[in-house]
A = this chain, B = another copy of it.
Amino acid sequence: MKDLKKHNLILASKSPRRQYLMKELGLDFEVHTKEVDESFPENLKAQEIPLYLCQKKADAFDEELTDNTIVITADTIVWINNQVLNKPENFDDAVRMLKLLSGKKHEVYTGVCLRSKLKTKTFYALTSVYFKELSQEEIEYYINNFNPYDKAGAYGAQEWIGYIAVEKIEGSYFNVMGLPVRELYEELLKF
């Protein structure tokens, strides 16, 4: 849509899923990433974590923002039993996470930050995801074949495990993939 052409957009994310979603949304953008320490204060909960981290990622661009450029950063977490699941460290950690998710509801939060030289807008999206009971065989098959070590909560909704495990979701599917595209579109139109 024409109104989105007035800015240069920079997506600051290595995630191929986010790049794919931005493209399908019809946006022209460049990818430009920086290494950012992804630690956060321990007292943060739920959406506070991705909102904190996406702003931290945006801060890294402060020195080089020009007029007419918007940097888009995002962070996605899986939240269950009042705790956050990050990317799994190894096979056993991935098994542990998928066993935690098995047969239960969890929440996926994505925080997004839009930053220009003069403005910052942050927002988040929440989707509830209900997993069926997973067998040990299904868990091991998935990890061995899909290596979900770059994924919060050790799963990709758009991969085999998402096909066989997800009984229902409440909210945005694209948020579970890593970017709430409808909200992003709306916020870009208003920015």
Contact = CB atoms under 8 A, between A and B. Distances in A.
Interface of A: 1, 21, 24-26, 127, 132, 137-138, 141, 157, 159-160, 163-174, 181-182, 185
A182 B163 contact: yes
Kindly report how many copies of this chain are found in the complex they form together.
2
A181 B168 contact: no
A48 to B, nearest CB: 22
A163 B174 contact: yes
Contacts of A132: 182
A173 B182 contact: no
A30 to B, nearest CB: 20
A175 to B, nearest CB: 9
Given A168-B172, A171-B169, A182-B132, A163 B1 contact: no
